[in-house]
């Protein structure tokens, strides 16, 4: 690490310390009166006209209802451009929001935690041409807390009301207090972006940020895992094929109900209750209430007949139709961290060496370890490379994993050395 970069990082840290000493201003309401929710073609056309005529970056956010609804997606889109104001748009009222994306054109999007919002915005026809992610910028600057509320406090001295963060945004009509909360999520994003960009420049990390933001433009969420029922939280307690069959049948039954009623899975049967039923394999409905996790799940108990019918179907399966103990492997896939530790000790030991290097260099560069190198890339290196792999081979894997040039520049030598130290 160069002396110049160290001094820039120290300057960035002192800047954050000075901002943390300021007095905070609590903001409960948007600066400007909110217009009504945009939910008609005429209103959307007006918004598109105003946005297209505006200038500067566009702050965007979405509100979802994943804890309440089965079908994921945006239930509210918040947009702000400094010279046009804030607009709250109901995406469920339109086939898509492609006209809004066209109105934004090539202007920079400002998002906080872009990978959360981009898939849902893409689903309704909106894709950025230029991007700034305030959370990613904060990780490059090694902020300890990088949630939106924490950042506005640390960087701008502004505290935001966050009381509706867990609300059901599929509710219609949306209460006024919720709309004001949603508007605040984009109210200060432009100011936050400008302040973070200055800090990135002072720390000598502006080029790194540009590489990261360019890479984000092509982000796609990971493909669903095979046998998703194996990934219910707590499923590690379910071992035998017969119990796994019960888990699968319960999960599939729950999924059908959720899809039919558009309810989040935990609004139908809690995960602890589902796992407990699959472990206990009760042989009668009367025994189900003796299982504490099920007994405590009021909503799940209302469908006791349905769950017992699912269990009964799993009991009748012949042995050759029972699921295997291990999940099917996807060709070319790298095991997750838990599988590394339990089933692949040699690769796990190599992974630990590589991970330690990533953490060490992240600390030297004063960046968050999450942004230094994607954890999946670190596992892939440990999985596909042998000990003592030559530098060109390590470089090939990093490039195939879409590591950015700044990451490769700072990590390559250390990763090669880690592979050589058995």
Q: What is the 3-state secondary structure (H, E, C) of 349-401?
A: HHHHHHHHHHHHHHHHHCCCHHHHCCHHHHHHHHHHCCCCCCHHHHHHHHHHC
Whether the pLDDT of residue 67 is over 80: the answer is yes
pLDDT at 261: 97
pLDDT at 5: 53
Q: Is residue 298 part of a domain?
A: yes
> Residue 409's domain spans which residues?
339-420
Instruction: Specify whether the CB–CB gap between 371 and 322 falls below 8 A.
Output: no
Q: Which tokens go with 218?
A: 């092509």
Whether the pLDDT of residue 16 is over 70: the answer is no
Of 162, 183, 217, which residue sits at a domain end?
A: 217
Residues 70 and 169 in one domain: yes
Burial tier of 202 (Cβ tally within 10 Å: 0-12, 13-18, 19+): middle
For the residues of 302-342, what is the DSSP string, one character each? Answer: TTHHHHHHHHHHHHT--GGGSPPSSPPPPTTPPP-HHHHHH
Q: Quick: pLDDT tens for 104-127.
A: 999 999 999 999 999 999 999 999
Strand 58-63, strand 25-27: pairing: unpaired
pLDDT at 22: 63
Residues 355 and 280 in one domain: no
Residues 253 and 209 in one domain: no
Residues 39-50, mean pLDDT to the nearest whole number: 98
Q: Quick: pLDDT tens for 289-345.
A: 999 999 999 999 999 999 999 999 999 999 999 999 988 777 778 887 777 777 788
Of 175, 190, 217, which residue sits at a domain end?
A: 217
Question: Assign residue 56 a region: left if phi > 0, alpha if psi is -120 to 50, beta otherwise?
Answer: left
- The least confident of 15-24, 50-59, 170-179, 309-318 is 15-24
Q: Is residue 19 part of a domain?
A: no
Q: Quick: pLDDT tens for 201-242.
A: 999 999 999 999 999 999 999 888 889 999 999 999 999 999
| Rounded Cα gap, residues 112 and 104, in angstroms | 18
Q: Is residue 6 part of a domain?
A: no
Residues 67 and 212 in one domain: yes
Instruction: Find the CATH number of the domain harbouring 293.
Output: 1.10.150.80
Residues 169 and 303 in one domain: no
| Rounded Cα gap, residues 292 and 101, in angstroms | 50
SS3 14: helix
Residues 371 and 403 in one domain: yes
Q: Is residue 20 part of a domain?
A: no
Instruction: Specify whether the CB–CB gap between 200 and 209 falls below 8 A.
Output: yes
Phi first, then psi: give them for residue 59, nearest 5 degrees: -85, 135
Residues 173 and 153 in one domain: yes
Contacting residues for 236 by C-beta, under 8 A, at least 6 apart? 338
Helices 206-216 and 114-123: crossing angle, nearest 10°?
Answer: 30
Residues 53 and 197 in one domain: yes
Q: Quick: pLDDT tens for 350-403.
A: 999 999 999 999 999 999 999 999 999 999 999 999 999 999 999 999 999 999
Q: Which tokens go with 165?
A: 């963060």
| Rounded Cα gap, residues 62 and 163, in angstroms | 16
SS3 131: strand
Phi first, then psi: give them for residue 185, nearest 5 degrees: -65, -20
User: Half-sphere exposure (CA, 13 Å, Cβ side) for 160?
Assistant: 25
SS3 159: strand
Nearest to 86 by CA among 29, 40, 125: 29
Instruction: Find the CATH number of the domain harbouring 83.
Output: 3.30.420.10
Residues 90-100, mean pLDDT to the nearest whole number: 98
Q: Is residue 261 part of a domain?
A: yes
Q: Is residue 2 part of a domain?
A: no
Residues 233 and 155 in one domain: no
Contacting residues for 142 by C-beta, under 8 A, at least 6 apart? 9, 13, 366, 367, 368
Nearest to 240 by CA among 357, 304, 319, 172: 319
| Rounded Cα gap, residues 18 and 189, in angstroms | 21
Q: Quick: pLDDT tens for 226-285.
A: 899 999 999 999 999 999 999 999 999 999 999 999 999 999 999 999 999 999 999 988
Global pTM? Answer: 0.90
Q: Is residue 359 part of a domain?
A: yes
Residues 169 and 294 in one domain: no
Q: Is residue 38 part of a domain?
A: yes
Of 321, 352, 376, which residue sits at a domain end?
A: 321
Residues 405-418, mean pLDDT to the nearest whole number: 97
Residues 164 and 42 in one domain: yes
Residues 79 and 209 in one domain: yes
Q: How many domains does the chain have?
A: 3
Nearest to 61 by CA among 109, 123, 124, 129: 109
User: Half-sphere exposure (CA, 13 Å, Cβ side) for 310?
Assistant: 25
Whether the pLDDT of residue 410 is over 60: the answer is yes
């Amino acid at each position: 690490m160069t002396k110049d970069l160290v001094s820039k990082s120290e300057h960035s840290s002192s800047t954050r310390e000075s901002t943390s000493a300021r007095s905070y201003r609590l903001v409960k309401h948007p600066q400007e009166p909110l217009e009504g929710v945009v939910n008609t073609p005429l209103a959307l056309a007006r918004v598109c006209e105003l946005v297209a005529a505006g200038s500067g970056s566009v702050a965007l956010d979405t509100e979802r209802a994943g804890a309440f609804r089965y079908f994921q997606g945006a239930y509210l889109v918040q947009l702000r451009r400094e010279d046009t104001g804030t607009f709250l748009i109901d995406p469920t009222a339109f086939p898509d929001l492609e006209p809004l994306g066209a109105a934004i054109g090539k202007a920079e999007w400002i998002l906080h935690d872009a990978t959360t919002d981009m898939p849902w915005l893409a689903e309704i026809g909106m894709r950025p041409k230029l991007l700034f992610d305030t959370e990613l910028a904060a990780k490059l600057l090694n902020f300890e807390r990088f949630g939106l509320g924490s950042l506005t406090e640390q960087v701008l001295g502004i505290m935001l009301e966050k009381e509706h963060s867990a609300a059901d945004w599929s509710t219609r009509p949306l209460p006024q207090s919720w709309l004001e909360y949603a508007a605040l999520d984009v109210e200060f994003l432009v100011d936050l972006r400008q302040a973070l960009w200055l800090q990135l420049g002072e720390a000598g990390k502006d080029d790194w940020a540009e590489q990261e933001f360019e890479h984000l433009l092509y982000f796609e969420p990971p493909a669903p895992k095979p046998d998703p029922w194996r990934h219910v939280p707590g499923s590690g307690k379910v071992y035998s094929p017969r119990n796994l069959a019960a888990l699968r049948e319960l999960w599939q039954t729950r999924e059908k109900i959720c899809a039919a009623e558009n309810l989040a899975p935990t609004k139908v049967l809690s995960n602890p209750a589902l796992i407990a039923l699959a472990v206990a394999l009760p042989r009668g409905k009367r025994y189900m209430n003796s299982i504490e996790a099920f007994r405590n799940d009021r909503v799940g108990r209302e469908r006791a007949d349905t769950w017992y019918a699912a269990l009964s179907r799993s009991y009748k399966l012949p042995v050759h139709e029972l699921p295997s103990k291990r999940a099917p492997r996807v060709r070319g896939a790298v095991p997750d961290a838990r599988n590394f530790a339990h089933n692949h000790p040699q690769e796990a030991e190599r992974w630990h060496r590589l991970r330690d290097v990533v953490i060490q260099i992240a600390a030297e560069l004063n960046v968050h370890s999450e942004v230094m190198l994607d954890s999946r890339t670190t596992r892939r290196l440990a999985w596909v490379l042998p000990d003592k792999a030559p530098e060109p081979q390590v470089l090939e894997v990093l490039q195939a994993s879409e590591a950015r040039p700044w990451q490769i520049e700072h990590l390559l030598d250390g990763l090669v050395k880690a592979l050589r130290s058995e």
